[in-house]
Copies of this chain bind each other. A is one copy, B any other.
Amino acid sequence: MREVFQAELKSIGDELIQMSKLVAEAMERAYASFETADTDIAQEVIAADQRIDYLQNSLDERAIDVLALQGPVASDLRMIVGSLRMSASLERMGDLARHIAQLTRLRYPNQVAPARLVDTFKEMARLDIKIAHKVTQLLETRDLTIASEIIALNTSVDKLHASVFRAVAEAEWAESAPVTADATLTSRYFERYADHGVSVARKVNYLVTGEWDPELSAALDQD
């Protein structure tokens, strides 16, 4: 019985790791489509998001089965409930990558990003993808120094997000209103993707230490 239970716990952990890899790939591909206005890649990202949604449902069902059949207690129970929260964050990361792909498809053959924000969005995407890779490592190792690295990366994303609003407010900003609206949403999507990475880091930290880290809590969407 105990062995079956440990195997089930491991499966839940493996599914989270798999989800984190898929959302990293989703953002890599979404940004590739965004950068080059490639609707074929955008379409693939949109289609692949269903797989992430499916994995979340599968993980949830498995968690409920474990809760029902094994009656876990204490730390195992917290791990399972925490997994439900982490799967929800990962699923949202997939959605946000999909939103980037959808904007790309909507504006084709135009680029979504105005020239002066190309580098900013490139860097936001790079940081988001790095965060997703760090989330995978954190789930695999539970090494909490990685959680701190995720926080630092998120801080950089937040600064870039703020810089987009400063750019929009500058006198030299001469983009059309729809381009401004798209840039606002794009920045918001990148920023929220990073936030959800922090949510996962925060949850892992809690599961390992049993305490909420105030630094991790403060890093979330408090703007």
Chain A interface (Cβ < 8 Å from any Cβ of B): 60, 63-64, 67-68, 71, 73-74, 77-78, 81, 84-85, 88, 95, 102, 165, 168-169, 173, 175, 177-178, 180-181, 183-185, 188, 221, 223
Q: With A and B bound together, what is the CA distance between A71 and B183 in angstroms?
A: 49
Q: With A and B bound together, what is the CA distance between A81 and B180 in angstroms?
A: 41
The smallest beta-carbon distance between A1 and chain B, in angstroms, is 14
Q: With A and B bound together, what is the CA distance between A71 and B177 in angstroms?
A: 56
B178 touches A181 (CB 8 A): no
The residues of B that contact A60 with a CB separation of less than 8 Å are: 81
**Minimal Cβ-Cβ distance residue in B for A71:** B71
A221 touches B95 (CB 8 A): yes
Partner of A188, one of B78, B95, B185: B185
**Minimal Cβ-Cβ distance residue in B for A174:** B177
Partner of A177, one of B74, B175, B185, B221: B175
A177 touches B180 (CB 8 A): yes
The smallest beta-carbon distance between A142 and chain B, in angstroms, is 20
The smallest beta-carbon distance between A84 and chain B, in angstroms, is 6
Q: With A and B bound together, what is the CA distance between A77 and B221 in angstroms?
A: 31
